[in-house]
Structure 1
Amino acid sequence: MPSSRRAAPAAEPAAAPGTRILKKYPNRRLYDTQTSSYITLADVKRMVLGGEDFEVRDAKTGDDLTRSILLQIILEEESGGVPMFSTPMLAQIIRFYGHSMQGMMGAMLEKNLQTFVELQSQFVGGQAPVLQNMMGTYLDQSRAMFEKLQEQMTTAGVIFPGFPPPKR
């Protein structure tokens, strides 16, 4: 008599407490385990905008697909009319993939975005003059940090492919 037992599903890594788990099925549908219902990318976008913590897991393997889903949302937004990223900016970002500075560039972009969000929250709090001063300082510091990084790489003999060396 053939066995009707199924293989046990792959063990899923534990999510952080309070993190909402979404499962992505092979049919490309997303299932919200909290509401026990299927959801769309628009629903995931609302979760992001609402500041909810969530993870997207492959329903079969348990692999973390969160970044992939977030990138899909960004792609939809960029295709939707008023893009945030210019073509030259996207080309610049692509040039960093596979480069030894890829991790550093990602960390720098993340830190700059975090600082911008903090400045924006101060602006919403009614501190517009303070924001204008801080924004100027922030932009000057970001530019100086990148120029210093680029100069160090040039001095070390490593030049970003596709990037011009700093002007002296």
Structure 2
Amino acid sequence: MENKTPETHAAHRVIKKYPNRRLYDTTTSTYITLSEVKDLVMKSEPFEVLDAKTGDNLTRSILLQIILEAETSGSPMFTAPVLESLIRFYGHAMQGFLGGYLEKNIQTLIDTQTRFAEQTKGFTPEMWKQYTAMQPPVMQAMLGGSLEQSTSWLAQMQEQMQKQAGQMLGAFGINNTK
């Protein structure tokens, strides 16, 4: 997580991770489990996990542990090919762009889900029956916009990378136009 000002930092729940792998919630003054940290995520409660000894921010590491647990139990979200593709991005020129790309697409999906929940709040059982009968076209229409946004963002990213590569090569006296 990014650095916080004292006012913002106070709004965050601080969880300390001790060498014995235990997590201590400083707000409730109790030890908590990884499952309880997951509950904080599900409730959108802001928190950060700090190493009790060094003060290093371990939030990402704990979030990755939660994902790993979820992936190994129940129905995994990521297939082996998707995970392999993610691994291949590490060290690749596109690594820096992938995080932002995924973040924007997930936010678009969350926004779509929120709009959908608002629109279906008053559905009766009969309305749900009608909805499920026409689900594929409705889902396609709802997700079509996010797919177009994703494609547009990817094209912009590629164009930006080409410009940056051209500028970098130009600085070395290399003309990359063909």
TM-score normalised by the chain length of structure 2? 0.71
Aligned counterparts of 1:79 and 1:147: Cα–Cα separation in 2: 34
Out of 41, 44, 53, the residue aligned to residue 37 of structure 2 is 44
Determine which of 66, 91, 95 is the counterpart of 2:88: 95
Q: Which residue of structure 2 aligns with residue 74 of structure 1?
A: 67
Separation in 2 of the partners of 1:131 and 1:45?
28
How far apart are residue 58 of structure 1 and its match?
0.2
Q: Distance in 2 between matches of 1:150 and 1:47?
A: 36
User: Residues 24-66 of structure 1, C-alpha deviation per residue, up to 9 Å, x if partnerless?
Assistant: 0000000000111100000000111011000000000000000
Structure 1 residues 38, 119: closer, same or farther in 2, change over 3 A?
A: same
User: Residue in 1 aligned with 2:175?
Assistant: none
**Greater share of helix:** 2
Once residues 95 and 46 of structure 1 are traced to their aligned partners in structure 2, the CA distance between those partners, rounded to angstroms, is: 31
User: Which range moved further: 92-101 or 135-144?
Assistant: 135-144
What displacement does 1:78 show? 0.2
- Report how many residues are paired: 145
Q: How does 1:17-166 map to 2 (within 5 A)?
A: 17-126=10-119, 132-146=140-154, 149=157
Which residue identity is paired with 1:86?
A: T
Identity of aligned residues (%): 57
Segments of structure 2 that go 5 or more residues without pairing to the other structure are: 121-130, 132-136, 167-178
Matches of 1:23 and 1:100 in 2, distance apart? Answer: 35
SS in structure 1 opposite 2:11?
coil
**More displaced stretch, 105-114 vs 134-143:** 134-143
**TM-score, length basis structure 1:** 0.75
Shift in Å, 1:152? 7.5
